[in-house]
A and B are shown apart, each in its own frame.
Chain A
């Protein structure tokens, strides 16, 4: 197997065991988001290829399983992006302008956020929520989605993200802020409306 094994705990299972150990779990995860078995299998394959190619950078901060699922989540977002057939817009500025509609000139809400009445024990609601979340994530500019996924899927610190993307820390906070505000507004209009 690969020789580039940096600071990983010795207990991390090597890539040749991933399919046996995590294949079914990854498939089940993909299938819970994408109902088509063949597409789910393709996404598992894409995630495994991406994982083995970046295994040299895996530092063992999370378990291999959690790391593989984080990569799979990115592939799911990519899938939604491809399916919606939208050009991967990089128009972060127009998103920033649309944010101005959220608050008025004195910095108060134009449209107040609604309380999300979720029942965490309801698998159905969780499922619906996650569906909309992935779709919303696939609709925001690629640069914002990328930084958001590094922070929330890969759980990287902003310092690590800045190093990887060569941006300043304050820039990363602004981008994460825009991504989150867009997601919450998208979730509110799509998920809650659908639930009515």
Chain B
């Protein structure tokens, strides 16, 4: 078998590693050829991309429409500020 023909399991490993390191030329060729021939592995590739995009999104979703409902109550804000001040002072002292 030629070196760029890989099976689905090997493809899944490379598809994941592609998110963490630059694949070698032959690895990229293997992934590309495999995906051309294998629709389920194209789906896997999309799923891995969706998971990454979802995890990296730093936006709150828009399910809360009442702006007042998503404001920290004043007493909580004040308590948090006091707490931060306390920890900072404590750190400085040490």
Contact = CB atoms under 8 A, between A and B. Distances in A.
Interface in B50-94: 50-52, 54-56, 58, 60-64, 69-73, 76-77, 80-81, 83-85, 87-88, 91-92
B83 A70 contact: no
Contacts of B47: 113, 116, 184, 187-188
A23 B86 CA distance: 17
A165 interface: no
A126 B80 CA distance: 30
Nearest to A113: B43
Contact of A69 (B13, B58, B73, B80): B58
Contacts, number: 143
A183 B54 CA distance: 12
A152 interface: yes
B47 to A, nearest CB: 5
B64 A32 contact: yes
Interface string A49-88: 1001100000000000110011001000000000000000
B54 to A, nearest CB: 6
A133 B51 contact: yes
Nearest to A111: B40
Nearest to A66: B58
A4 to B, nearest CB: 8
A31 B84 contact: no
Interface string B11-25: 011001101110000
Contacts of B51: 133, 152, 180, 183-184, 187
Interface residues of B, number: 45
Given A113-B43, A113-B47, A130 B54 contact: yes
A155 interface: yes
B48 interface: yes
A96 interface: no
A45 B81 CA distance: 10
Interface size class of A (residues with CB under 8 A): 35 or more
Contacts of A106: 7
Contacts of A29: 60
A173 B27 CA distance: 15
Given A1-B92, A2-B92, A19-B81, A133 B54 contact: yes
Contacts of A20: 77, 81
Nearest to B17: A173
Which of B40, B55, B64 counts the most A-chain CB atoms under 10 A from its CB? Answer: B55
B36 to A, nearest CB: 16
B88 A32 contact: no
B80 A48 contact: yes
Interface in A111-127: 112-116, 118, 123-124, 126-127
B3 interface: no
